[in-house]
Homo-oligomer: A and B are copies of this chain.
Amino acid sequence: MDRLKVGLLGATGLVGQVFVSLLSRHPWFDLVALSASHQKSGRSYGEVVSWIVERCLPEDVAELRLLNLDPNEFSGVDIIFSALPSDIASHIEPKFAEEGFTVISNSSNLRLDPDIPLIVPEVNPEHLALIKIQRRWRGRIVKNPNCSTAILTMTLKPLMEHGLRRAFVTTLQAVSGAGFAGVPSLAITDNVIPHIPREEDKLSKEPRKILGTLTNSGVREADISIAATTTRVPTRHGHLESVLVELSEELSEEELAECFSRFKGPPQDLSLPTAPANPIVVRRKVDRPQPLLDRTEGGGMSVSVGRISRLGWHGRWYRYVALGHNLVRGAAGNAVLIAELLSYIGNSDSRPF
């Protein structure tokens, strides 16, 4: 397969930096074009960025000149990743799509539009077919879900075949989910903030689409009810989710654990570069998963699940704890995996799903 040229919009922010980190050592993609806000254009990335990702900033990327947010400056690029803030994304991303680019975006705008694939590659890769009915632009836009949703749906997908009916989620989300300066130290040190703007709405709606069924007329939403209480806690990275689910089928705790462990999707079957060997890693120790110890599992692409148990309630109610890296599986990593899947399909005669 020929190497593909990729570009990145919103390269200086926290998610942008994780994109740079993942793309700069990618076996298929060459990161050749970066942009940030207009006032930074023309300067080198290394000069402008306040690099805070633990891995070092690669020198060849540091030397790239920042481009304007103008599709003309990105000519020759095969895939555009976008880590733009939603308000800017909502008018910039369509411009790129209009010029024929494939845009894979982490911004929240458009996610629920019927012609927009909202993808977790292990969960609903077949929804990429929505691209064919996406006719408003010459190119196409594919969306990442909200970070907590990406992590949650990884664990809900294997429950669908056991009759998932309802889920109630309490999230304990890391500060990096709000961007570099999103949470002041004084607001969160020795504290929990039991509210994250718009997050609960996303968590109740996006999974219904992601877990929905692809039909000829689009995606039919899954018939499940999801509600969430979202909180911000003083961790750096890694969203932990305490999940309660009602199923229609009876499962033992061990069966539930196996159901999680066995879960795989096309990214694993195709050995895509960013795909973790195990999308879900079941932790058997009673005090796991923990953000500090488990967030980098599978390079940040695996979701760790623990504390699985059946409630002594009337009905079939279960609880578990899930953990994923909000910047990798919940953002840049998931987008890169989408791009890998799209590239594979484009280069393959057979359809993997």
Contacts and interface: CB of A to CB of B under 8 A. Distances in A.
A171 B156 CA distance: 22
A229 B296 contact: no
A175 B182 contact: no
A291 B191 contact: yes
A236 interface: yes
A1 interface: no
A51 B240 CA distance: 21
A307 B195 contact: yes
Task: Determine which residue in A182, A233, A242 has the highest number of CB atoms from chain B within 10 A of its CB, and name it.
Answer: A242
Given A172-B172, A194-B306, A234 B235 contact: yes
A12 B189 CA distance: 21
Nearest to A172: B192
Contacts of A194: 240, 242, 287-290, 306-307, 321
A172 B231 contact: yes
Interface stretch (A127-135, A257-265, A310-318, A335-343): A310-318
B234 A166 contact: no
Interface string A280-299: 00000011111111001000
Interface string A122-157: 000000000000000000000000000000000000
A345 interface: no
A90 interface: no
Given A191-B235, A204-B312, 11 more contacts: A168-B244, A175-B184, A180-B186, A181-B186, A183-B186, A185-B188, A191-B293, A195-B307, A227-B319, A229-B307, A242-B242
Q: Which 9 A-B pairs have the closest CB atoms?
A: A191-B292, A170-B170, A170-B242, A195-B287, A181-B184, A175-B185, A227-B311, A185-B185, A229-B242
